[in-house]
Structure 1
Amino acid sequence: MADTATTASAAAASAANTATDTPPFQLGKPRFQQTSFYGRFRHFLDIIDPRTLFVTERRLREAVQLLEDYKHGTLHPGVTNEQLWSAQKIKQAILHPDTNEKIFMPFRMSGYIPFGTPIVVGLLLPNQTLASTVFWQWLNQSHNACVNYANRNATKPSPASKFIQGYLGAVISAVSIAVGLNVLVQKANKFTPATRLLVQRFVPFPAVASANICNVVLMRYGELEEGIDVLDVDGNLVGSSRIAARHALLETALTRVVLPMPILVLPPIVMSMLEKTALLQARPRLLLPVQSLVCLAAFGLALPLAISLFPQMSEIETSQLEPEIARATSSRTVVYNKGL
């Protein structure tokens, strides 16, 4: 009965659409194809769209109700695919898919860039003291941990100890590497003051990248022991694979290394050139606003690019997995949820 109602709603929405590039609406499915990098890039641009931060409570209720009407086949005449896609985008940006509760604004994926950019600016400030280095690395990893927790898979209970373990591991690794590299740079007598300042600006990248890997491994170590679910082409559960878990963690770790690269490497290069311009030399007060804009642009580009590198549902050949998995299905390939 539910399938019939959904089909009826789909037909009604399709009939309401004129000639347009908007694809037919599919409840719970991505708007853009996930088999290509460009499709994934457009999909994640939708997910991180900061405009959804300004959606009112009333608009959210209307979006949720519209999707409920579609699901039960009670759509009003004239509702378009564009309206349905927009409603789904709003719901997915604000409500947790498992708990259906509102995610705190700074920890939504759509809030990651606007709330994270000030932290990036702080990480890249020149002439950092030991205290400021520790503070900004701690704040960055705390923000990352809260975003990870707020957008976690909540279908299965996860002990708080796992979250705390990952958080402490990320903070300790980030702070120790950043402080250690800063001390080495300060003691490097061969560097001129200008060179030392430039090198110091690149210190946050190895610290953040290593902390991100540490966070992923500690938070998801259980997957390496227990395996993750793999599905056949029809979406049927085949089994739980530790080999697939290793692939998933490797892909996620690579994403977490690529993500901070443009954010923490490009701004120092750009700023080192802009600081030599007559405008900024004559108006040093503009340095911080200009650096903030450069960091914002780098963040806005890096986030969708990095998380689009691998499909959310990754594919692997059955022959590469455990023998019991290969025997359990006739499919040549299976898919697994990589995670973000």
Structure 2
Amino acid sequence: MADTTTTASATAASAANASPDSPPFQLGKPRFQQTSFYGRFRHFLDIIDPRTLFVTERRLREAVQLLEDYKHGTLHPGVTNEQLWSAQKIKQAILHPDTNEKIFMPFRMSGYIPFGTPIVVGLLLPNQTLASTVFWQWLNQSHNACVNYANRNATKPSPASKFIQGYLGAVISAVSIAVGLNVLVQKANKFTPATRLLVQRFVPFPAVASANICNVVLMRYGELEEGIDVLDADGNLVGSSKIAARHALLETALTRVVLPMPILVLPPIVMSMLEKTALLQARPRLLLPVQSLVCLAAFGLALPLAISLFPQMSEIETSQLEPEIARATSSRTVVYNKGL
């Protein structure tokens, strides 16, 4: 009873110092409304903010302690909503929500763009050899797999075989498609050398997109067989639905196709135009730095846009689900965790 009272008082104090830019703090809840695309976009910009990579150990301890004080109603006077939101952002960026252990820096969501951009640059290098194509596709899927594993749901133990299966499937599909398309382009006699080079630059996209779909299906195939939990408006478990699982995987797969599109399609178009400028023709050494900046900009824009397409907690009408789910609740709609 005492904990409930102190938490209520902390919430009231938080609401008192709220502002339009700093809404009342809610422990464990998103800062921005998730019902609109703009709200989800701002939420994911917070999640991928690379500045959290430079948070010191001391600052992390302070953030965790501040959230503990809020939880137990022992906040010091004058603590603002902005400070609480900032503390939660730091904790969620660095510590795994289930294990409470630090996530290795290159595999944090906030490190996805800084550590992933060099790989994107490698994927888009012109005049790739067979060995370099295989290497960059392998490195890209290895990085993706490590990020997926480091940020996995750890509440239920998952066999390592599922992770290995998804990883191998993604690597094999990515390498096979990339190598196959490169061979076809090389054998296309109708292409001029300039056209062949331009087409080769677009090869990584279908390879990565197909590998992403393969990875999602293999890693989460068990959800299609067993179903996923669906909840009513009050957060009560209604049941486990295979139909909701199909919707969740379809939305996630679509996100994984949209994500590499701007990253792997826009830079080749931009670079094909920039390479014709007098500056880059006179200074070819600038090509790689300029391409790196173009890739970084495309990556930084594409990631939050893609993962903001669908809400994390998606809604579906009960009439579309299994009859036993519809009978188990009076709610017209239920929600399910789509996953990232």
Shift, 1:17, TM fit: 2.3
Cα 1:338–1:6, aligned 2, differ >3 Å: closer, same or farther?
Answer: farther
Cα 1:75–1:302, aligned 2, differ >3 Å: closer, same or farther?
Answer: same
- Superposed CA deviations along residues 228-274 of structure 1, whole A, max 9, x for unmatched, are 00000110000000000000000000000000000000000000000
- Alpha-carbon contact 1:12-1:75 (below 8 Å) kept: no
Q: Distance in 2 between matches of 1:315 and 1:137?
A: 35
How do 1:1-340 and structure 2 match up within 5 A?
1=1, 4-11=4-11, 13-14=13-14, 17=17, 21-340=21-340
- The count of corresponding residues between Structure 1 and Structure 2 is 340
- Superposed CA deviations along residues 192-228 of structure 1, whole A, max 9, x for unmatched, are 0000000000000000000000000000000000000
Cα 1:176–1:328, aligned 2, differ >3 Å: closer, same or farther?
Answer: same
Cα 1:19–1:162, aligned 2, differ >3 Å: closer, same or farther?
Answer: closer
- Superposed CA deviations along residues 38-88 of structure 1, whole A, max 9, x for unmatched, are 000000000000000000000000000000000000000000000000000
Cα 1:187–1:137, aligned 2, differ >3 Å: closer, same or farther?
Answer: same
Shift, 1:13, TM fit: 3.8
Cα 1:151–1:323, aligned 2, differ >3 Å: closer, same or farther?
Answer: same
Shift, 1:5, TM fit: 4.2
Shift, 1:109, TM fit: 0.1
- Alpha-carbon contact 2:25-2:84 (below 8 Å) kept: yes
Q: Distance in 2 between matches of 1:308 and 1:221?
A: 23
Q: Distance in 2 between matches of 1:140 and 1:25?
A: 37
- Alpha-carbon contact 1:173-1:211 (below 8 Å) kept: yes
SS of equivalent to 2:88: helix
Q: Distance in 2 between matches of 1:15 and 1:209?
A: 44
- Alpha-carbon contact 1:13-1:78 (below 8 Å) kept: no
Shift, 1:18, TM fit: 6.8
- Alpha-carbon contact 1:13-1:79 (below 8 Å) kept: no
Q: Distance in 1 between matches of 2:227 and 2:15?
A: 45
Q: Distance in 2 between matches of 1:168 and 1:11?
A: 47
Shift, 1:14, TM fit: 2.9
- Superposed CA deviations along residues 133-168 of structure 1, whole A, max 9, x for unmatched, are 000000000000000000000000000000000000
Cα 1:283–1:256, aligned 2, differ >3 Å: closer, same or farther?
Answer: same
Cα 1:229–1:6, aligned 2, differ >3 Å: closer, same or farther?
Answer: farther
Shift, 1:6, TM fit: 4.9
- Alpha-carbon contact 1:117-1:292 (below 8 Å) kept: yes
Shift, 1:169, TM fit: 0.1
Shift, 1:7, TM fit: 3.5
Q: Distance in 2 between matches of 1:2 and 1:338?
A: 36
- Alpha-carbon contact 2:10-2:75 (below 8 Å) kept: no
Shift, 1:3, TM fit: 5.3
Shift, 1:309, TM fit: 0.1
Cα 1:284–1:332, aligned 2, differ >3 Å: closer, same or farther?
Answer: same
Unaligned runs of 5+ in 1: none
Shift, 1:123, TM fit: 0.1
- Alpha-carbon contact 1:99-1:154 (below 8 Å) kept: yes
Shift, 1:94, TM fit: 0.2
Q: Distance in 2 between matches of 1:16 and 1:66?
A: 18
SS of equivalent to 1:288: helix
- Alpha-carbon contact 1:37-1:308 (below 8 Å) kept: yes
Q: Distance in 1 between matches of 2:331 and 2:15?
A: 37
SS of equivalent to 2:239: strand
Cα 1:212–1:80, aligned 2, differ >3 Å: closer, same or farther?
Answer: same
SS of equivalent to 1:78: coil
SS of equivalent to 1:334: strand
Shift, 1:4, TM fit: 2.5
- Alpha-carbon contact 2:169-2:214 (below 8 Å) kept: yes
- Alpha-carbon contact 1:134-1:179 (below 8 Å) kept: yes
Following TM superposition, the consecutive aligned residue runs of length 4 or more in structure 1 with deviations greater than 4 angstroms are: none
Q: Distance in 2 between matches of 1:181 and 1:33?
A: 43
